[in-house]
Amino acid sequence: MVSPDVVRAVGAEIVVEVSGAEVLLLDATESEKAEIEKRTHVRLFKNLTYEFAVASPLFSENEAVAASPSANLRGTNPYVFRIMDITGTAIRGARVEVYLKDTNTPAVGITDKNGMVSLSLRASSATEVHVHPNENYWSTYLVDVSSSTAARALTLEQIEVPYQDSLRHFCKPEGGLNGTGVRIAVIDSGINRHAELPDINKGLCIVDGKFSEDFLDNGMNHGTHVAGIIAGQGKGVRGIAPGVTLMSYRVFAKDSRKAQTLDITTAIQRAVDDGADIINLSLSLADDDKDEDGMRLAIDYAVDSGVLVVAAAGNHSCGEMRIPARYDDVVAVSALGLKDAHAPASTFALDLHHCINAEREFVPDFSNYCDTQLNLAAPGFAVVSTVELAGFRAMSGTSMATAVISGIAARFLSKHPDLVGFQRSPERMSKLKDLLYSSAVTLDLASRFVGHGLPQL
């Protein structure tokens, strides 16, 4: 370990010393870093930023209070909306996005307890308006909207569960507790104690190198949504492997979309040591930085321990995987969708696709692709899953697809005759990967977008 005295001697600063681990988080210049490495013969790694691999808007209750148009969008033209359901009941906390011409970033408002939101903007007309509720309703949109002081009423359609979304199309629900005996570590925003989810018997929060027992969702609902895809118990949504043991490692601070290498790699090591069979990483490096040796070492530790690591390809519509999906030993997953498997007036109807087959199955435009680094594909478009404490929401992203593959892998581990009874080992992990790849079908979609395809259960 690097001695704190050495750090101080070269003029660098210790930001965090991880309790019980040989880890320091330093604030050091490149020259200070080089001097510390020279004196200690210990290599230092960058602490880079990761984000959720989700293509749907995410926002927390706390963020909602602070939402407002950026300065360059403000003006004197009023836009007033009332968001309600079919009975006329106001929908509180919905995110309303107003897109002006020649702007990619929308003006944002959050509905109050009366379902109302009012924005004053610089243009008298908007190209699109999107409405994203936090839970239990489908999103909706309008095009070519003029400003007005009169409130424009928008009615949202309720999400009826169970819903025949893209997940239930590609992966038919089955009875029984598939995945029993398999431990899946979800390294994410945390997992809420949702009515549809099994009890979380192992959890930890690691943020800025500090440990706590608060493994519940950080307010963004991403980890809870991922957990429902894996292990939903079937009353409202049924997950791929309801019998698994979920392990929650929260690495995102409260109300944050960003996590750091230090916390993710520490969580990976803890998950391995806690006995995980599969690690689900529905996240990706925020910037396309190829120098991420800290993450590479953590992945190596998991793989050498016989743990299957499943990671999101990323949502940048580009021909390369993002870290950690880029690594050879990681199962990299892209997204699949089904045309019209959502409410007709939902914003999901606006999404484009890379390619589509005769069955109206497609690869959404946001999903990263690659001829060599992509391994599998799974439903990740307008997937209905768990949020909050008892709610449901549809989300898109390679995050969702990654959770599907983790669930399928758990089912293989729990019942495939070539795997049942074998203890965790690199050999078992390699065999599991081979089974996932050999059982996959491309669905008449180009392999650069789906890899081997979707494993068949």
Distance of CA 235 to the CA centre of its chain: 23
Is the overall model pTM greater than 0.85, yes or no?
yes
Residue 97: both structure tokens together: 């996005």
CATH code for residues 166-455: 3.40.50.200
CATH architecture of 61-155: Sandwich (2.60)
The ranges of the chain with pLDDT < 50 are none
User: Would you please indicate which residues are annotated as catalytic (active-site) residues?
Assistant: 188, 222, 399
Q: Nearest to residue 134, comparing CAs of 196, 56, 187, 55?
A: 56
Nearest CA among 359, 268, 370, 382 for reference residue 317: 370
Are 322 and 313 contacting, i.e. CB atoms less than 8 angstroms apart? Answer: yes
pLDDT at residue number 65: 66
CA atoms within 13 A on the CB side of 388: 13
Integer Cα distance of 186 and 278 in angstroms: 9
Residue 172 is predicted with a pLDDT of: 86
Pairwise CA distance, residues 113 & 253, whole Å:
27
Partners of 239 in the beta sheet? none
Closest CA to 361 of 248, 245, 443, 266: 443
Average per-residue pLDDT for the chain: 92
Domains 61-155 and 166-455 share a fold: no
Please check whether residue 167 is in contact with residue 384, taking contact to mean a CB–CB distance below 8 angstroms.
yes
Comparing CA positions, the residue from 188, 176, 186 lying closest to residue 243 is 176
- For residues 402 and 167, the answer to whether their CB atoms sit within 8 Å is no
Structure tokens at 128: 């699109």
Position 226 scores a pLDDT of: 98
- What is the sign, positive or negative, of the torsion defined by CA atoms of 206, 405, 202, 274? negative
Neighbouring residues of 278: CB distance < 8 A, sequence distance ≥ 6? 182, 183, 184, 185, 307, 308, 309, 310, 406, 409, 410, 413
pLDDT value of position 382: 98
Distance in angstroms (rounded) separating the CA atoms of residues 65 and 63: 5
What does the alpha-carbon distance between residue 159 and residue 27 come to, in Å, rounded to a whole number? 47
How far is 152 from 161, CA to CA, in rounded Å?
29
The Cα–Cα gap between 270 and 445 comes to 38
Are the beta carbons of 310 and 384 closer than 8 angstroms? no
Share of the chain above pLDDT 90, in %: 79
User: Where along the chain do its domains lie?
Assistant: 4-44, 61-155, 166-455
- Asked if 237 and 385 count as a contact pair (C-beta separation under 8 A), the reply is yes
Widest pairwise Cα distance in the chain: 70
